[in-house]
Amino acid sequence: MKNISVFLSDFKHAKDVYKPLRLRMSNPSDKKTFDALIEDDNVKFVCDEIYGQLQELIKSQNPSIKIKPDEYPELINKHLAGKNIQEYGVWVYYPWNQRLVHLLDEDEFVEVRTNRNRYKITREEQNKLKQKKIGIVGLSVGQSIALTMAMERTCGELRLADFDTAELSNLNRLRTGTHNLGLNKTVIAAREIAEIDPFLNTVIFNEGLHAGNMDDFFIGGGKLDLFVEVCDGLDVKIESRFKARELQIPVVMDTNDRGMLDVERFDLEPERAILHGLAAGLDPHNIKGLSNEDKIPYILRMIGADTISTRLKASMLEVEQSINTWPQLASSVTLGGALTTDVCRRILLDQFHESGRYYVDLDELVKDEQQPEKIVFHSTNPYLAIERADMKKIIGKYFAHAHAPDDNLSAIDLDKIIDAAIAAPSAGNNQPWKWVFSRGVLFLFHDRYRSWSWGDYYQMGAHMALGAALENVHLQSASLSLKDHIELFPLNDVPELIAAIRFTKSNLPADTATIDIAEHLFTRHTNRKLGKRQKLEPGFYSQLQQVAGKFKNVNIFYTDDEKQLEELSEIIAECDKVRLLNEMGHEEFYHEIRWNREEAEKTRDGVELGSVDISQGEIAGFKVAGDWNAVKLLSEWDKGDAFKKLSTKAVKSASAIIVFSIPEFTHTQLINAGMAVQHAWIFANQQGISVHPMLSPAFFFNRLIHGKEQELPPHVAEKLHLLRARFLKIFHTDMAGGQKEVFMMKVAIADDMGVKSLRKDKTELFFKD
């Protein structure tokens, strides 16, 4: 008796015990164990409802007869055939909760417990399912699947794999009580299955699924008939599918988002690509060498980043910002349990044969037919692209009041000047210019259709880009021993005509310095490469101020103070966040992005992502954030700090932030500022200093102050006022006297990114009349 007591004591306290004891009183050994349980006070609760179960059994065997309550005793005694009811069936002891339950034995138990399945599942089908073995890996979602399968008795054996234990945060979707915290999820699920049906065979793998136990999981004790994969690990997702395909075992995956169910019929299609080809390039060998960052593009492809729910996208953008990991809801997990069980049953009964992805999206199926009216805070592009005929007409108007000069430009020199002109930088690389050479005059037109931007109030950025282009014309002309004579806005009533430029021969050949800076205008570029902050020599800033001083009414200020740079990083980051949380700002940002070189080659404008020092995880985040509806939720929740990361990192590596300002906010002065910025930028690059424009504060402060908060929601305007106050506090002495900040750029020492923004073909931007 003592040995049995010791055994039972160890048994009930083991944290990995999940199999109950089944005791039949006709077996002397079982009877002895039963008595020991009672005598040693190892039973805290006894449930003996065997009489009610016998009633149900007799009722299920006689469905066409309405049995009266007083008829059951005789029918039960007849069924017992002289056996003591206390010894009939089986007593089941659950050591983890010290409960002892009296049940019908297996065949009768299964018959009664599955009786209400008829005829959605026939008895023949139920018997067929009893022979099936199903493996499930991942028990946060898989527990709901396993329990639903157990309740429906979709199989006779369940193999459960998960290395993790239950934590309090799991209880939003894991069906268990707080008393099970710290227990392995496989044990929790197996125990609950045993309490539902002690005759179901359950095998657990507490170390999860890995190369060392893969064979045991899939073929130990008989090959699996179906595999359910609902784990988080990419390695296991790939390795287990290769194994399933090798063994021709069908795979079902539930994502608990939008009711998406994934089916791969490797039993019918043994050559089928893993995950429908979405994991192309991955196999059990090369996946081990991938970093977590390298895995992210594959994960997004596999889950279908474009098809996940709006709320999941928004939540993913908050991971490691305001939440630790992506969310899972009990309702979605429970729905997944139902969907997976239903599909698995039909696969096992040879009633469903397809591979594919399927959605039971309740947000789409059950929704308000009348959606609330959308509030629009923005306008649309009011301009049409400027056409050749339009420009010729304007040029005709110009020559109606101006004489045509001698043509001092050779075709070669003109070609070089246009090459320089279109190499200029522009916001988002939108290239807002058209050039026409007619009767000895080079005309610069503003293509307002290309440059129009909600963020660019008063076309500040466009006019600065046009100024940069004019500076390139000036520098290239000088290197060719030509003098350029720029007439700004020669027709007051035609704002599209920015400049008319005449050229005369210089009496002196270009000096070496002039030629050198002209050559550097083609190598000038934005460098977004991150590096370590390094102090620059004070002489650099003095020289830069001398460069800017050559341009009338343009001033530059800088700070390389550590604390001020930290404050500026927050100001710039917050402005970037404001942009991306604004519908128009968001649309324009994604309109500018070129995800790869192939995209960039097609349009030859925009900003190629390869020019940004950005991780695979950050690229993935930006792709997810391309859904405005998801970002709109972040705006409504006052979240979205992930949008601050890139600019914060950029400023952390800055040697200094330089600000350009002008005293009067006019198009003429903006053009002049653009010329100064371009020359300063080329000079910095000549010195081996990288330049990265940080434009969002200047653009937003422009709309805030000069645009009088136009099209800014009140709470955004309030936030921007606070940010500008912080900005002015840094440059309070420098910006005194009403200076208007129009351009900010980071200067730093950094390795070259090696990727330059492309320009449109010259034939699109220039013609001779």
pLDDT tens, 81-103? 999 999 999 999 999 999 999 99
CA 732/CA 725 separation, integer angstroms: 9
Q: With DSSP H G I counted as helix, E B as strand and the rest as coil, what are the percentages for the chain, rounded to 5?
A: 50, 15, 35
Please state the rounded mean pLDDT for residues 462-484. Answer: 96
Contact between 718 and 573 (Cβ < 8 Å): no
The pLDDT confidence band at residue 736, using thresholds 50, 70 and 90, is low
Looking at residue 1, its pLDDT comes to 40
CA distances from 231 to 150, 213, 312, 324, 429 (A): 20, 16, 17, 17, 43
Distance CA 428, CA 233 (A): 38
673, 664 in Cβ contact below 8 A?
A: no
Q: Judge whether 516 and 561 are in contact, CB under 8 Å.
A: no
Q: Cα 522–527–533 angle (5° rounding)?
A: 135
Q: How many CB atoms lie within 10 A of CB 286?
A: 10
For residues 540 and 549, give the distance between their C-alpha atoms in angstroms, rounded to a whole number. 14
**Confidence category of residue 734, pLDDT binned at 50, 70, 90:** low
Measure CA 757 to chain center: 25
For the ranges 105-114, 346-355, 367-376, 510-519, the lowest mean pLDDT is seen at 367-376
Inform me whether the pLDDT recorded for 12 exceeds 60. no
Q: What percent of the chain has pLDDT over 70?
A: 97
User: Could you give the CA distance from residue 764 to residue 386 in angstroms, rounded to a whole number?
Assistant: 12
Contact in structure between 554 and 673 (CB atoms under 8 Å): yes
Region of poorest pLDDT, from 60-69, 146-155, 285-294: 285-294
The pLDDT confidence band at residue 8, using thresholds 50, 70 and 90, is low
pLDDT of 280 higher than 90: no
Confidence of residue 121 (pLDDT cuts 50, 70, 90): very high
| Residues constituting the chain | 769
Would the pLDDT of 66 be above 50?
yes
From the number of C-beta atoms within 10 Å of its C-beta (0-12, 13-18, 19+), residue 276 rates as middle
pLDDT tens digits, 231-275: 988 899 999 999 999 999 999 999 999 999 999 999 999 999 999
603 CB-near residues (< 8 Å, 6+ apart)? 594
CB 20 within 8 A of CB 198: yes
Local structure of 441: helix, strand or coil: strand
Longest dimension (CA), the chain: 129
Going by pLDDT thresholds of 50, 70 and 90, the confidence category of residue 306 is confident
pLDDT number for residue 319:
87
Res 296: pLDDT: 77
Position 370 pLDDT exceeds 90:
no
646: Cβ contacts below 8 Å, ≥ 6 apart: 576, 612, 614, 618
pLDDT-based confidence at 450, cuts 50/70/90? very high
Residue 681: pLDDT band with limits 50, 70, 90: very high
What mean pLDDT comes out for the span 660-670?
Answer: 95
Q: Rounded mean pLDDT of the chain?
A: 93
Crossing angle for the helix pair 330-348 and 139-152, to the nearest 10 degrees: 50
Residue pointed to by tokens 């994991």: 279
Yes or no: say if 530 and 613 are a contact pair by the CB < 8 Å rule.
yes
Are 325 and 169 contacting, i.e. CB atoms less than 8 angstroms apart?
no
Q: Which two tokens stand for residue 376?
A: 């629009």
pLDDT of residue 300: 82
pLDDT attached to residue 618: 86
Helix (H) / strand (E) containing 295: helix 292-303
Res 107 pLDDT > 90? yes
Q: Cα separations (Å) of 266 from 148, 273, 352, 636?
A: 24, 9, 13, 44
Decide the pairing of beta strands 157-161 and 133-137: parallel
Residue 556 backbone class (left: φ over 0; alpha: ψ -120 to 50; beta: rest): beta
**pTM of the full predicted structure?**
0.88
Alpha-carbon gap, residue 113 to 195, rounded angstroms = 13
The pLDDT, as a whole number, for residue 453 is 92
Residue 747 pLDDT grade (very low, low, confident, very high; cuts 50, 70, 90)? very high
Q: Are strands 766-768 and 433-438 parallel, antiparallel or unpaired?
A: parallel
DSSP 663: S
Res 2: pLDDT: 43
The answer, yes or no, to whether residue 735 has pLDDT greater than 80, is no
Nearest residue to 328 via CA among 311, 343, 303: 311
Sign of the dihedral through C-alpha 402, 404, 409, 415: positive
Residue-level pLDDT at 241 = 97
Task: Between 573 and 732, name the one with better pLDDT.
Answer: 573
For residues 107 and 323, is the Cβ–Cβ distance under 8 A?
Answer: no
The span from the CA of 604 to the CA of 430, in Å, is 9
CA-based end-to-end distance of the chain? 111
Distances (CA, A) of 736 to 458, 567, 663, 708: 23, 20, 10, 20
Q: Is the omega angle on the peptide bond into residue 119 within 30 degrees of 0, that is, cis? A: yes
- The 10s digit of each residue's pLDDT in 381-410 is 899 999 999 999 999 999 998 998 887 799
pLDDT at residue 290 above 70?
yes
Q: What is the DSSP letter of 643?
A: G
Q: What is the pLDDT of residue 133?
A: 98
Cβ neighbours for 627, distance < 8 A, ≥ 6 positions apart: 310, 313
**CB of 503 closer than 8 Å to CB of 483:** yes
Q: Which two tokens stand for residue 337?
A: 């349990």
**Which residues lie below 8 Å from residue 262, measured CB to CB, with a gap of 6+?**
251, 252, 253, 254, 255, 275, 276, 356, 357, 358
User: Quick one: pLDDT at residue 519?
Assistant: 92
How is the beta sheet containing 226-229 ordered, strand by strand?
A: 201-205, 157-161, 133-137, 226-229, 251-254, 260-264, 356-359
Predicted pLDDT of residue 376: 52
